[in-house]
Structure 1
């Protein structure tokens, strides 16, 4: 295989085109000449800046053909499509669990390693991912962005709002439904026990006492 004409002295990577080589060198020097005029974030190349600008403009040109989801980047759409196909190519070698994207696997691995790199500066609590830290910070700031549209109650996270909504809809909690079934006289375990106790025949008929 023909090697590239431009070789990085720092890491040994080869590049065919000078433009790609120059962009790569910035990963070592830290140079980010392409600046966002709105928030000041810097980038090593113009393409990354163009993608970043969609955060400010709201543009999401990559649409999922199976649902209404849209994305700012094509690779985010690729990852999203796995929720429809069920593809999970990233395997945890410790427990065998699979994930649709590398980021989820990275977060999962911290359960095995115990790593919690996201630290609360207020109380020093630590978390495996930035999302959990964001939710935790609301306990300090008092922010409750998830608001019930039926009674105006507010919550720090979407899960708490979902549980709250069941009070309005009457929907039973899945765990509670399981408990109801387990306590039911017709559950397999209770039928089995009543047969041994002589309260029921093998055919399921009650014994008259």
Structure 2
């Protein structure tokens, strides 16, 4: 498993970048052939752009439409790409817990499950903020002396 040892024996002859797997180098080499459509076989049918990966074309196609499938569970802002939403969620996590928003979408509706908060989405994610320290709560019962009012 070269991925875990740091060994990168496959080196690009164009730019010197190295890779642990031959397939990664071959994919990278396609980026140096910008003039060749054979190396960028996925073409957008709405504009002259072409792509090396089908996934990049799928993501690009959303720029021609209103499709924004990734939405923030805290504020409802929508994104074309999941990575952009995750970066946005880190901002919420840094701000602290979400505040109450007086928009119709913030009002609970029957039959609609609530979306998780940014902190819940990022739990276990390497970019998640650290959990606050747990401070143990101790209860001390102090007897009330006679003659002291405990309520008004």
TM-score scaled by structure 1?
0.38
Q: Is the helix fraction higher in 1 or 2?
A: 1
Bigger RCO of structures 1 and 2 (CA < 8 A, at least 6 apart) = 2
TM-score scaled by structure 2?
0.50
